[in-house]
Amino acid sequence: MDLNNKTILVTGGTGSFGKKFIETALNKYKPKKLIIFSRDELKQYEMQNTPVFKKHANILRFFIGDVRDPDRLRRAFDGVEVVVHAAALKQVPAMEYNPFEAIKTNIIGAENIINASIDQGVEKVIALSTDKASNPISLYGATKLCSDKLFIRANTYAGGKKTKFACVRYGNVMGSRGSVIPIFLEQMKTGVLTITDKRMTRFWITLQQGVDFVIKCLGIMKGGEIFVPKISSMKVIDLAKAMAPGCRFNMIGIRPGEKLHEAMILEDDARITSEFKDFFIIDTYSYHKGGKKLPEGFKYTSDNNDQWLTEKELKKIISEKI
């Protein structure tokens, strides 16, 4: 999407994705205004004083607020044309222990985003989803599935209003807060890395790939889609070997709410999914033409993927990113 001369708001704007999205928008486009909406005033202060953002202070606006607060959202969305909804509670073990908090932010927060967007005439809203929303077994995944459903059906809820809603679903983001890389980096100091299961696989995407895909989807969305990029899988134990070949691995077993393999498209969703060169669209409304119908029984999971990162490739990627 051409973000030039647009007023854009990012919820969770001080998070890993939010900062990379804002940085990319500033480097590649000339937006009219970029609004960072988040709860943490310290992170906002630190972001404001980072050189890459400080030099664009004339178009950056920092709003302290919570997606749980509908009144604050309505005020923040005044005059906004594009909303990227990246705010979420997403730590799986923490959400298993604090389920009501996950519901308040990930589900009620989604409802508040939808209502504020429609009421304030936002043109496009794209919400970040997760592979854990497909056939969820964790509370986090269940809240994100519910959030996805709300955003997709919000296109009907909007009635004759101009606001369009879509979702982007992708896998684990390399190096983001709460991902396995920072955990392994800390554990490397002890000489022992904890591995839940040697068979475990995950989808993997870089932060920049995620941001670029969201911007692309903003450009082609018509409302009602879940966009799924074609990305690589990796074995968690291969990542551990690539990062810490001299460390000992301690197998601790799969934690509550965790899967052995992740899924982004399963058979039931595949029936309404179209395949394109670099991505899939789960499209309830069938607006997009040119895609290929998926075969019966198709599924897109981290263990049946045709794109794999080897231990050698992982080692190269990590050396460039850390």
End-to-end CA distance of the chain: 30
Helix boundaries (H) for 32-132? 41-48, 51-54, 70-76, 92-97, 99-102, 109-119
- Cα 317 to the center of its chain, rounded Å: 20
**Cα three-residue angle 266-131-261, rounded to 5 degrees:** 75
- Cα 111 to the center of its chain, rounded Å: 18
**44-53 long-range contacts, CB within 8 A, separation 24+:** 44/14, 46/14, 47/13, 47/14, 47/19, 52/23, 52/26, 53/22, 53/23, 53/26
- Residue 132 a catalytic site member: yes
Catalytic residue among 6, 90, 132, 144: 132
Type of residue found at 299 = K
Are the beta carbons of 285 and 293 closer than 8 angstroms? Answer: no
Tokens of 177: 């807060």
Are the beta carbons of 151 and 118 closer than 8 angstroms? Answer: no
Give the catalytic positions in this structure: 132
